[in-house]
Chain A
């Protein structure tokens, strides 16, 4: 089934540890995104990539980094996790070249930083 795969589904992490959330899509979409979802705040864009080899900052990029080495993969790294990064993280992709730009979301990764 075509779509987005995120891993891990859930993780508890000690503050100060490094963590990478993985995201893979098989739809050959050019654009990919990372959002975090927090109660009462909705979804906020962390980083995005319009095409392989390029990335950009979203609304809340501090403490996060991304890379886009190829079309399919878009990992999100927390270099040194802090409790305020406790959240549900959603990866998404879209075919922005066609102009439709409808985002397809993954199932999410729930991260708890203690």
Chain B
């Protein structure tokens, strides 16, 4: 079964700092890759996704992620964070080849200090 690792449990940044959250997955074939965000007290929402094509994908609120196949990575980035980006971020991949169910990483909590 596919596994996904998120390197940081809790990241604390000041406003305007740059953000990069790491995500690595175990499956080497064609994958669909997702980042979801959970704002405090809310349910998960899709931030961005990669299915094919340009490995640099752009999502909502200025987030982007780069798929690097050779490194099995899909890191999330934002050049300048805002206080409103305070949330928990989850990387997700299909459970296995051809699977529609997603396996989620353990999440990275981002705290942005005004």
Interface size grouping (class) on chain A: 20 to 34
Task: Please tell me which stretch of A18-26, A43-51, A70-78, A79-87 contacts chain B, meaning at least 4 of its Cβ atoms lie within 8 angstroms of it.
Answer: A43-51
**A42 engages B46 (CB within 8 Å):** no
Query: Which B residues lie within 8 Å of A106 (CB)?
Result: 43
B44 near A42 (CB under 8 angstroms)?
Answer: no
A31-B100, A50-B100, A96-B100 as given contacts; A103 in contact with B106, CB under 8 Å: no
Taking each of A41, A90, A102, which has the highest tally of chain B beta carbons within 10 Å of its own beta carbon? A102
Partner of A41 from the list B36, B44, B106 (CB cut-off 8 Å) is B106
User: Is A42 touching B90 in the complex (CB atoms < 8 A)?
Assistant: yes
Residue A40 at the chain B interface, CB threshold 8 Å: yes
CB-CB under 8 A from A96, the residues of chain B are 100
Q: What 3 A-B pairs come out closest when comparing CB atoms? A: A42-B106, A96-B100, A43-B104
